[in-house]
Amino acid sequence: MLFLRKFLLITIVLGVTLTEAQSNQPGSKFITKDVARDVSAALANLARNLSVQIRSRDSKAEIISPLSIGSSMLLLLRASRGTTRQELLKLLGLQLKYQRNDPRIPRNFGRLIQELLSDVRSGNVLDSEPRWKGEAKCISPEYVDEEYDEYDYPDEVPNSDVNIIRLANAIFVQNGTYDNEKLESRVRRIYRSKIENVDFINNPDESKTRINQWVDENTNGRIKEIITDQLSRDTMMVVANAMYFKAFWEDVFTAGATKPRKFFPNGEHEESVEVEMMSHGGCFPFYASNALDARILGFPYKNKTTTMYIILPNNSNRKKVQTLVEKLDANTLDELISNTTMRTASVLFPKMHIENSFELKSALRMLGLSSMFTRGRSNFSLLNTNMTTENSPTVGGVLHKVDLEVNEEGTEGGAVTATLMDRSLPSINFRVITPFVLAIRHDATKLLLFYGSVYDPSSS
């Protein structure tokens, strides 16, 4: 049987700070914790490595979704053999601990995803949540600071108890090229993936429309299309992943306090841009690292299952952020987050809407993933019992799109949460007016939903 030669890998990601919920029962009791930790760490290391590869001199932001990209890589791992499988394991840093066909990798990834999507505070899944999660609440003192004007809290703000986290995978295949029912069953069960037959050969435009329709449906209409160019008739398969994240803050920013302020993309002594800057005072997870010469502050989302962590180098600029990212492997990032404790803080943080699109093929090649892009070396022979390396498809491209919005909206207006603490400790002044690293993490599973650098959050 003759097979066509190309397929396209697509990841689409959305993030907003408002909510609703998906609820499945968490699956933590079925997790093999050592393996699950390795899988979470693999995605965090992939985030660091990709961030180093995609950085540029003039980008305003470089935000990716490690969960979305990693989900696609693990899905390809399930369909691969030989050199391609070994390269995928090496990309994820799993090649030394696990045999090529070790079922524990996809099984535990699936269970971490189940835990993530439940959005239930089900306890310490991996036995290592940050210190601040176990601390009692406190009352913040009054703040007096020239950076913060007095304002009234609004009478009404959105109120919700839940978050939306959706992760969807789909494989669109050329009619007649997929016959592995056992693999299909596993893909559906573990990766929550649908497999749909389309006709790239005779109806490439109709196939493109169907894929973009799937994107539209799985991003709540925020992204209408990911494929804009005409699909080649050589296309055999499109692997797509979409993640949709929408959540309220646990402790609300106040819309009335947002106003234009200066942000310094190249450091405080260089030129500035004007951004809408949000203000807040309260108790936040915080830690200052002498080793990294940086500070970290967390903004928990409702239910405290997921947190947006901001890592700010001292005297930050573009170069310092890029140097910091190089140091933030999985262990370093986790240690930094684990050391956070609740501290009173006055905060300035930019309101922002970031849209990033990346073609990740060259970055993945630089990280050693080459065979799946090369005809005659690509091996996805598990897709079909008649497929070999001679007729296995190659990956034509890896498209990744992120749409991340951060604004003031949250829960109860004027509610202030904090921890019992040593009142002799000074209030932290955390002004994010220079480049920073952003990491939105599901703390129980340590899965990174979003990660990357922001150099200039202005909209213009």
User: What's the pLDDT score for residue 319?
Assistant: 96
User: 349, exposed or middle or buried, with CB in 10 Å at 0-12, 13-18, 19+?
Assistant: buried
The SS3 call for residue 44 is helix
Residues 6+ apart with CB under 8 A from 96: none
Amino acid making up residue 48: R
Cα 120–Cα 125–Cα 128 angle in degrees, nearest 5: 120
pLDDT at res. 14: 59
Q: What is the pLDDT of residue 286?
A: 96
CA atoms within 13 A on the CB side of 18: 7
Contact 250, 417 (CB under 8 A): yes
How many other CB atoms sit within 10 Å of the CB of residue 2? Answer: 7
Rounded CA gap, 165 and 22, in Å? 7
- Residue with the two structure tokens 């993309």: 265
What is the model's pLDDT at position 16? 56
- Nearest CA to 321 out of 331, 310, 330, 332 is that of 310
* Tens digit of each residue's pLDDT, the chain (460 residues): 334 455 566 665 556 544 333 334 444 456 788 888 999 999 999 999 999 999 998 999 999 999 989 888 888 888 888 999 999 999 999 888 777 667 788 888 888 887 877 755 555 566 667 888 777 554 444 433 444 343 333 333 444 556 777 777 777 877 876 666 777 777 777 776 777 888 888 898 998 899 888 888 887 777 777 777 777 777 777 777 777 788 888 877 877 889 999 999 999 999 999 999 999 888 999 999 999 999 999 999 887 888 999 999 999 999 999 999 999 999 999 999 999 999 999 999 999 988 888 888 899 999 999 998 888 888 888 777 777 777 777 777 788 888 888 887 632 222 222 223 333 444 789 999 999 999 999 998 899 999 999 999 998 5
CA 272/CA 270 separation, integer angstroms = 7
Q: What is the pLDDT of residue 422?
A: 37
Report angle CA 380, 383, 385 to the nearest 5 degrees: 105
Side chain identity at 55, as an amino acid letter?
Answer: R
Q: Which two tokens stand for residue 353?
A: 């809407």
Question: In angstroms, rounded to a whole number, what is the distance separating the alpha carbons of residues 352 and 345?
Answer: 21
Q: What angle do CA 202, 205, 210 make, to 5 degrees?
A: 105
For position 151, what pLDDT does the model report?
37
- H/E run at residue 165: strand 164-174
447-454 and 436-442 as β-strands: parallel, antiparallel, unpaired?
antiparallel
Are 236 and 391 a contacting pair, CB within 8 Å?
Answer: no
CA distance 226 to 223: 7
Show the CA angle centred on residue 202, arms to residues 201 and 205, nearest 5°. Answer: 90
Q: What is the 3-state secondary structure (H, E, C) of 219-267?
A: CCCCCCCCCCCCCCCCEEEEEEEEEEEECCECCCCCHHHCEEEEECCCC
Burial classification of residue 210, based on how many CB atoms lie within 10 Å of its CB (0-12 exposed, 13-18 middle, 19 or more buried): middle
The pLDDT value recorded for residue 434 is: 98
CB of 336 closer than 8 Å to CB of 437: no
Which DSSP symbol is given to 408?
A: S
Question: Whole-model pTM?
Answer: 0.85
pLDDT at 13: 58
How far lies 6's CA from each of 58, 209, 239, 252, 375, in Å?
32, 18, 11, 47, 9
Instruction: State the sign of the Cα–Cα–Cα–Cα dihedral 71, 374, 86, 53.
Output: negative
Please report the pLDDT score of residue 107 as a whole number: 80
pLDDT of residue 12: 58
Mapped onto helix, strand or coil, the DSSP state of residue 40 is helix
Q: Domains along the chain?
A: 33-127+164-246+354-406 (3.30.497.10), 249-351+421-454 (2.30.39.10)
